[in-house]
Amino acid sequence: MEQYIKEMLEEYTGRELFPWHMPGHKRHPVHGGVLDEMFRLDVTEVPGTDDLHHAEGAIRRSQEAAAECVDAAYSHYLVGGATAGILAAIAATAKMRKRMDLPPVYLVAGNCHKSVWNGLKLVQAEIRVLEPEVDPQYGPVRSDAVLNAIDETEDTEQIAGCILTSPTYAGCISPLGEISAVLKVFGIPLIVDEAHGAHFPFCSELEWMSGVSNGAEYVIQSLHKTLPAMTQTAILHVGGDDDPTSDALDRAVSEELKVFQSSSPSYLLMLSAEAAVAWADENRDAFDTYIGKMQEFREKIGTSLNTLELVELPGEQDPTRLFFRIGKNCKPKTAGDPLFTGTGMAEWLEKETGVVVELAGSSELILISTVCDGDEDLDNLADALGKLDEKLTEKKRKPRTGRGTRRKKASVADENAEDGFEWSQADAGSGSGSSGAAWADTGAGSGSSGAAWADTGAGSGSSGADREGTGIGSEGTGPEKEEGPAGLQNPHVSLPQVGAFIQRDIYVYPPGIPIIRSGERVSEAALEKLKDELAAGRRIYGLD
């Protein structure tokens, strides 16, 4: 792929020009070092540089080349991350729906990123939640779930689109071909949040799993997540090169991208996006070699661990994503030991081996590997995971004092300190350590702004007038206060009760998937999930 933006910037900045326009650094050295090097190529929309929102020159040619690389009809560089593309795709499909006299309806995977739920609020959508299989955060969505949701919708012309996350944060891939075929029967566009799959089109073993290869109307990829690109770079692909609706789809989303992206897009980010796609296109053989190495790594590490388990979810799996949990033969948070939480394992890995993970949850670890990882990197990771597994196995076999009194909890912390593990989590509540339980119960559409929850009780309306909670084991005394490691109430964290009506998304980040969505009531399983996250020392957003 030819790098038209790079050529344009080098040619333009090589001319003897005197800028009396933005940006304020005027391409002069100011700070020294890397910033000044970037300033040299940091231009704005002036004659000779093209305009992302009205591309006619180098940017247009670059985007056309990027689309050709992945067999899409059109491609658009995103300088606001995948979020900008997701918002634009939702807004575009909402305006293209057949029944404009009714609110748009979307079929939405329950494990979608918070940007999806924010976009649906903007278009005031009605939502039919598609529950993922087996694991509510990381599992795939099946085609029968999509078909059932369509059958349950009285007026299918009201459905504006279907939104799926594939691959998920843990690398689980939904059967997009089957789902796309079902949707096309009803004329429903498919939006795929493929943020974690930008490498798919360039790997022969993964290419067929991409949304573009499976007939999706809009596919949004975060280039920076799995390709050599700067943070915040992404790309939106429109349809296939043989899709007769692609022109209309492209016109619709192009107008929305002008709304959701900066009117002064960074040329440095566009340069990085172009370079990432061009590099990937030129190094397809390197991707195939790398995928083979990752498959060997997974086989090796999966058979060598005793207590730590490499999780395989249903369906197809991206081999570059590594998802670990404590094995089923070992209770999560064994005897109250913080090392047996995801955050505890992550802290130990960083301190003892220098390995920093992508996500440390209440009971899981997720690590991202990319084509930029070499043999030495994989060897170091295997060694670090082996050491962690040895530590977990050793501590699992130790006689434990259990938990239940403040004195016993303190003794656990003291013992861990002696083992070289410092208990530094912010909270240690009484979570149950879920491992794939379906905690994300569906609710009744989107809620309104205001307080995070209203204790109105199950079956009551959303008005704040009825303040009698119906939490399990409670007497309607309001939100629970979560206890900290010493058994004292944490004054900074209040949990809603079972049955409380939630008026804003409650989630941890990463992965940014709501545990309880706006407009839902709190289920017992969701409350236990919140307790698990607090017990692991994670910050929960939406409780304030």
The pLDDT of residue 311 is: 93
pLDDT given for residue 157 in this prediction: 92
pLDDT for the residue numbered 436: 34
Residue 520: per-residue pLDDT: 77
Could you please report the per-residue DSSP string of 36-64?
HHHHTT---S-TTS--GGG--SHHHHHHH
| Long-range contacts of the stretch 222-225 (C-beta < 8 A, 24+) | 222/81, 222/82, 222/195, 222/196, 222/198, 223/198, 223/272, 223/273, 223/276, 223/277, 224/81, 224/276, 225/195, 225/196, 225/198, 225/368
Asked whether the whole model's pTM tops 0.75, one would answer: yes
Q: What is the pLDDT of residue 163?
A: 98
Four-point Cα dihedral 443, 211, 202, 384, nearest 10:
20
What is the pLDDT, as a whole number, of residue 398?
Answer: 65
Give the H/E segment covering residue 360. strand 359-360
**Alpha-carbon distances of 42 from 12, 50, 79, 274, 278, rounded to whole Å:** 11, 13, 14, 15, 20
Q: What is the pLDDT of residue 336?
A: 65
Written as six digits, the tokens of 436 are 């794939």
Tell me the mean pLDDT per 10 residues along the chain, length 544.
Answer: 91 81 80 84 83 91 96 96 97 92 94 93 95 91 96 93 96 96 96 97 95 96 96 94 87 96 93 97 97 96 93 92 84 67 93 95 92 96 96 76 43 45 37 35 37 38 31 38 38 74 77 77 80 78 77
How far apart are the C-alpha atoms of 498 and 378, rounded to whole Å? 44
Strand partners, 368: 321
User: Would you give the DSSP letter of residue 403?
Assistant: S
Residue type, 139: G
The C-alpha angle 78, 81, 82, rounded to 5 degrees, equals 90
Task: Specify the length of the chain in residues.
Answer: 544
Of 433, 459, 456, 438, nearest to 502 (Cα)? 456
User: What is the reported pLDDT for 454?
Assistant: 42
Burial class (CB in 10 A: 0-12, 13-18, 19+), 420: exposed
